[in-house]
Amino acid sequence: MLTIAICDDEKKICDYIENRTTEFLAKNDLEAEVSVFYDGSELLKKCESNNQNFDIIFLDIKMKTLNGVECAKLLRDIGVNSLIVFITSSAEYVFSGYEVKAFRYILKTDLVNAFSRVFGECLTELKKLNTSFFTVKTSSSVKNIPLSDILYFESNKRLLNIHTKNEVISFYEKLDNVENELKEKDFIRTHQSYLVNAQKIKSVSKDSALLVNGFSLPVSKSKASKVKDAYLWSKR
């Protein structure tokens, strides 16, 4: 299910975008959870408190309390990687979107004509991005982790730990299931308890793999040949 946020201090704009979103989803047989915010600080608070990472954020640039560009900067600072579509009343603000990696912008005067096209482009981009992310679902949140950030998965009984360059994320899943999901994504099982991003391997010996962050992980004798092949293949 998609998660979509709409943030604009004009209620009529929020209502319009919400209605158009609902119509577009219904026509394309898609489901989504849509959240509406009338202030950038409300959106920021939601993302901070619930570790929420919306798929798409429609964000007004000119808002009274916290403008859209500043809100987007703060969202990026806390790791929110949503597709941001700026809604603006003037084209002069468009270039501000580059520094926060905004995906698209829509002029309010062109909202009626441009909305469906931009929404469709967002969905197309999400399909591409979903092949480059690993989605972790817990009882309280859903988080998309870029595969390029993941060093390795570690199995600890029923719990899996994802080791990224910045943090360790724990959730309940079988390592076998994750291995099957990522078998075409340069992830290699080095040991019963470890699934490693081959692109993060710095060197391989007969019984260990040295990662780019200096960690050394064990390599089972039965898996040594495949680990070496995966490492060499990932460097091509």
In the chain, how many domains are there?
2
Does one domain contain both 25 and 118? yes
Q: Among the three residues 72, 99, 130, which one is the final residue of a domain in this structure?
A: 130
For the whole model, what pTM was predicted?
A: 0.60
Q: Are residues 117 and 140 in the same domain?
A: no
The answer to whether 132 touches 37, Cβ cutoff 8 Å, is no
- Encoded tokens for 84: 């941001």
Same domain, 77 and 111: yes
User: Where a domain ends, among 130, 162, 180?
Assistant: 130
Is the same domain home to 155 and 211?
Answer: yes
- pLDDT reported for residue 53: 78
Do both 179 and 211 map to the same domain? yes
Give the separation between CA 83 and CA 65, rounded to whole angstroms. Answer: 22
Domain of 92, CATH number, reads 3.40.50.2300
User: How many other CB atoms sit within 10 Å of the CB of residue 80?
Assistant: 20
In a shared domain, residues 96 and 143: no
Give the domain CATH number at 190: 2.40.50.1020
Residue 35 is predicted with a pLDDT of 95
According to DSSP, the β-strands at 159-164 and 83-88 are: unpaired
Q: Which two tokens stand for residue 167?
A: 């943090």
Q: What is the reported pLDDT for 94?
A: 65
Predicted pLDDT at 207: 92
- Select from 102, 130, 158 the last residue of a domain: 130
State whether 42 and 149 are in the same domain.
no
Alpha helices, H only, 37-167? 40-49, 68-77, 111-130
Query: 189 and 210: one domain?
Result: yes
Q: Are residues 54 and 126 in the same domain?
A: yes
| 194: containing domain | 135-234
Looking up tokens 């993302």 gives 47
Query: Are residues 82 and 75 in contact, defined by beta-carbon separation less than 8 angstroms?
Result: yes
C-alpha 22/C-alpha 186 separation (Å) is: 38
Mean pLDDT by 10 residues, the chain (236 residues): 92 96 91 93 88 88 87 86 88 70 91 94 84 79 84 93 90 94 89 93 91 92 91 71
Q: Does residue 89 sit in the same domain as residue 173?
A: no
Same domain, 6 and 22: yes
What are residue 189's DSSP bridge partners?
195
Q: Look at the block and give the residue holding tokens 């019963």.
A: 192
- Helix/strand/coil percentages in the chain, nearest 5: 40, 30, 25
Q: What is the rounded CA–CA span in Å between residue 229 and residue 41?
A: 49
